[in-house]
């Protein structure tokens, strides 16, 4: 202990202290400081005489207001979107109508979600700050300087749109109200709601959050209906339900069409999309009370609840709906299930409309989150017009980034031709996410090697971490290693979602190369950040060129 000074936790926040020991080659040592007055204290590491905490908890002005129950609700609200009601058809088709492959895709997605959750829980316990994937990547990959931060930030701007849920909102709303469902009408209704949601958030943050909370409460009711529907259909015989089962276990391994590795990879990506949201709560870690303990309980509990819901609903799909109808009804398969079980008024109208409201809730949450993330990116000053885009003009809310998200979403909606745009967008959004997840999973091995003495409060298993890494690599490579388009029907001639996703990742890296490496080398300068304050008190950065002599 002679090489380690006993330092009060609060005094070393945001400070690196160099030991004056003459032995510069001393081995790495770790000190876990537990301040009894601070239940949120985090590990402090001393490496070659330099004391370096992994990162302390960050306290925001709004304080820590999310307890265990609130965090579970937040998890479930983010996970339960439109996916389970609209994606099953695409997964079933990608699996060639095979019951075994259908459930295997969901099983892999569930195991990956649980394993990924514990990876994020471990990193979140070592770096307990809001930001999620971005914070973890920049902490793990310190070199080259700013590469991980800038690349992921640009990626978040490129994919700063919300499309899948507005499409489902449009389709389910029209279907519930008895209107003729056409691609044009779906896009018009979906975009109209998006504009309304952005306007509410842009004018009044308070009212936007109230709408989110109201829809979140309605989602809990929908979960009860889903559990009841799945349990009723799967546990009771047809003599009671009056529903003839279409699920025959003798057909477990039969396929209707050929299944390729790329198609199955697409099925897993789609199933993973339905579990999406398990990692989003780490974006608000700084607002959670006792985050290590709370997330350790809330994360697995929420995923466990949603996994049970998904198992029962998927069984209900296969029991109630013939295989051909599952494929032919596409994203309306959820509405078809409710109509067959509950009839026209309750199933086709009421419950179908509730699915539309569920999708609407996700639009509210996602566009709110996207605007905040984009605002943080512009605050870093990497992009043009950062001062204006990071401002809270004109009503004290991030209206500029809300407008950017709306314009991006509108542009993507308008340029897409007819076809299965929903499943294409799901795959396109999910593909780069697998790249990021692979790097985060690999980061567990880097962190444990870099800080061998540290025992994280929450530990991911080596098996689970390896599984996430291997699954992500498989989902990244499989769509590329095929001569057949991995795109959904109607969009086979469109650029492969995998190639487009890779192109976006490369563009993000090239942005960093040009701005922070090539141009400074070419013109002999360095870029250093300078902070300044806007009129509303928001602190933003500007990168200043400092020329070398």
pLDDT 10s digits, 226-258: 889 999 998 888 888 888 888 888 888 888 888
CB 451 within 8 A of CB 127: no
Which tens digits make up the pLDDT trace of 324-347? 999 988 889 999 999 999 998 899
Q: Which of 71, 1, 61 lies closest to 32, judged by CA?
A: 1
What is the structure's pLDDT at 61?
43
In the chain, helix, strand, coil percent, each to 5?
Answer: 65, 5, 30
| Full DSSP string of 131-196 | TTHHHHHHHH---STTHHHHHHHHHHHHT----HHHHHHHHHHHHHTT----HHHHHHHHHHHHHH
What is the structure's pLDDT at 331?
87
- Does the predicted TM-score (pTM) go above 0.85? no
Q: Which long-range contacts (CB under 8 A, 24 or more apart) does 518-521 make?
A: 520/545
Q: Which residues of 371-398 are buried (b: 16+ CB within 10 A; e: fewer)?
A: bbbbbbbbbbbbbeebbebbbbbeeebb
Most confident range (mean pLDDT) of 131-135, 271-275, 451-455, 522-526 is: 522-526
Averaged pLDDT, 472-477: 91
Please report which helix (H) or strand (E) contains residue 529, including its range: strand 525-533
In three-state secondary structure terms, 18 is strand
Output the CA angle 195-196-202, nearest 5 degrees.
85
Q: Which of 222, 247, 220 lies closest to 233, judged by CA?
A: 247
Residue, of 65 and 306, whose pLDDT is higher: 306
Averaged pLDDT, 428-440: 90
Tell me: pLDDT of 15 over 60: no
**431 to each of 115, 150, 347, how far by Cα in Å?**
18, 19, 34
What is the structure's pLDDT at 284?
63
Q: Which of 160, 205, 204, 199 lies closest to 62, judged by CA?
A: 205
What is the structure's pLDDT at 106?
95
Residue, of 99 and 83, whose pLDDT is higher: 99
What is the structure's pLDDT at 39?
35
Distance (Å, rounded) from C-alpha 352 to C-alpha 229? 14
Residue, of 152 and 71, whose pLDDT is higher: 152
Hey, where are the domains in the chain?
9-53, 68-504
Tell me: pLDDT of 28 over 70: no
Averaged pLDDT, 507-528: 94
What is the structure's pLDDT at 56?
54
What is the structure's pLDDT at 135?
83
Distance (Å, rounded) from C-alpha 83 to C-alpha 167? 11
Q: Are strands 50-53 and 539-547 parallel, antiparallel or unpaired?
A: unpaired
Distance (Å, rounded) from C-alpha 120 to C-alpha 132? 8
Tell me: pLDDT of 41 over 90: no
Q: Which of 56, 53, 51 lies closest to 17, judged by CA?
A: 51
Which tens digits make up the pLDDT trace of 364-421? 878 877 887 888 888 888 888 888 888 888 887 788 999 999 998 898 888 876 667 8
Q: Which residues of 91-123 are buried (b: 16+ CB within 10 A; e: fewer)?
A: bbbbbbbbbebbbbbbebbbebbbbbbbbbbbb
Enter the DSSP assignment of 350: I
Q: Which of 266, 285, 203 lies closest to 487, judged by CA?
A: 266
Which tens digits make up the pLDDT trace of 250-293? 888 888 888 888 889 989 989 988 887 777 766 666 667 777 78
- Share the mean pLDDT of the chain: 81
What is the structure's pLDDT at 357?
87
What is the structure's pLDDT at 40?
34
Share of the chain above pLDDT 90, in %: 32
In three-state secondary structure terms, 482 is coil
Which tens digits make up the pLDDT trace of 149-208? 899 989 988 888 777 889 889 999 999 998 999 888 999 999 999 999 889 888 876 676
CB 488 within 8 A of CB 419: yes
SS (H, E, C) 263-326: HHHHHHHHHHHHCCCCCHHHHHHHHECCHHHHHHHHHHHHHHHHHHHHHHHHHHHHHHCCHHHH
| Chain centroid offset of residue 159 CA | 11
What is the structure's pLDDT at 30?
36
Distance (Å, rounded) from C-alpha 6 to C-alpha 11? 11
Q: Which of 331, 373, 370 lies closest to 352, judged by CA?
A: 331
Beta-bridge partners for 542: 530
Tell me: pLDDT of 49 over 70: no
The count of residues in the chain is: 549
| Full DSSP string of 409-459 | HHHHHHH--SS-HHHHHHHHHHHHHHHHHHHHHHHHHHHHHHSTT---SS-
Confidence band, pLDDT 50/70/90 cuts, at residue 92: very high
Q: Say which CATH class 68-504 falls into.
A: mainly alpha
What is the structure's pLDDT at 9?
29
Confidence band, pLDDT 50/70/90 cuts, at residue 42: very low
Over the Cα atoms of the chain, what is R_g? Answer: 25
**387 to each of 158, 308, 406, 530, how far by Cα in Å?**
19, 46, 19, 13
Instruction: Count the Cβ atoms, other than its own, within 10 Å of residue 423.
Output: 29
């Amino acid at each position: 202990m002679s090489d380690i000074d006993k330092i009060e936790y609060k005094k070393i926040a945001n400070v690196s202290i160099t030991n004056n020991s003459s032995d510069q080659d001393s081995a790495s040592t770790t000190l876990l400081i537990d301040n009894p007055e601070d239940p949120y204290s985090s590990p402090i590491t001393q490496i070659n005489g330099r004391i370096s905490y992994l990162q302390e908890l960050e306290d925001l002005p709004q304080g820590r207001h999310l307890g265990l129950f609130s965090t579970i609700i937040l998890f479930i609200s983010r996970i339960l979107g439109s996916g389970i009601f609209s994606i099953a058809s695409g997964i079933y088709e990608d699996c060639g109508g095979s019951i075994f492959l259908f459930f295997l895709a969901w099983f892999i997605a569930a195991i990956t979600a649980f394993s990924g959750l514990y990876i994020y829980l471990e990193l979140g316990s070592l770096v307990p700050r809001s930001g999620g994937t971005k914070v973890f990547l920049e902490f793990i990959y310190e070199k080259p300087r700013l590469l991980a931060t800038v690349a992921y930030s640009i990626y978040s701007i490129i994919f700063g749109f919300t499309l899948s849920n507005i499409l489902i909102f449009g389709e389910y709303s029209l279907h519930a109200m008895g209107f003729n469902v056409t691609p044009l009408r779906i896009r018009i209704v979906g975009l109209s709601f998006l504009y309304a949601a952005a306007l509410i958030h842009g004018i009044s943050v308070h009212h936007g959050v109230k709408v989110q909370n109201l829809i979140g409460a309605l989602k809990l009711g929908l979960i009860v209906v889903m559990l009841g529907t799945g349990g009723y259909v799967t546990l009771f015989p047809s003599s009671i339900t009056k529903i003839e089962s279409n699920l025959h276990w003798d057909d477990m391994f039969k396929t209707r069409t050929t299944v390729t590795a790329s198609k199955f990879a697409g099925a897993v990506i789609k199933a993973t999309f339905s579990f999406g949201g398990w990692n989003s709560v780490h974006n608000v870690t700084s607002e959670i009370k006792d985050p290590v303990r709370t997330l350790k309980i809330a994360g697995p509990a929420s995923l466990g609840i949603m996994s049970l819901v998904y198992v029962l609903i998927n069984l209900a799909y296969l029991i109630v709906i013939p295989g051909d109808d599952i494929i032919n009804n596409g994203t309306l398969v959820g509405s078809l299930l409710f109509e067959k079980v509950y009839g026209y008024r309750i199933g086709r109208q009421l419950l179908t409309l509730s699915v539309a409201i569920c999708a609407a809730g996700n639009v509210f949450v996602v566009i709110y989150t996207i605007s905040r993330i984009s605002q943080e990116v512009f605050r870093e000053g990497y992009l043009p017009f950062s001062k204006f885009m990071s401002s809270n003009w004109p009503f004290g809310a991030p209206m500029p980034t809300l407008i950017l998200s709306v314009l991006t979403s509108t542009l993507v909606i308008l340029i897409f031709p007819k076809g299965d745009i929903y499943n294409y967008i799901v795959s396109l959004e999910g593909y780069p996410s697998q790249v990021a997840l692979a790097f985060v999973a690999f980061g567990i091995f880097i962190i444990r090697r870099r800080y061998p003495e540290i025992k994280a409060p929450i530990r991911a298993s080596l098996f689970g971490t390896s599984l996430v890494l291997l699954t992500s690599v498989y989902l990244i490579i499989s769509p590329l290693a095929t001569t057949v388009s991995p795109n959904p029907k109607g969009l086979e001639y469109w650029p492969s979602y995998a190639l487009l996703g890779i192109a976006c990742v490369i563009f993000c890296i090239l942005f960093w190369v040009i701005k922070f490496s090539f141009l400074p080398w070419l013109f002999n300068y360095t870029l250093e950040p300078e902070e300044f304050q806007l009129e509303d008190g928001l602190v933003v950065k500007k990168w200043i060129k400092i020329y070398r002599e």
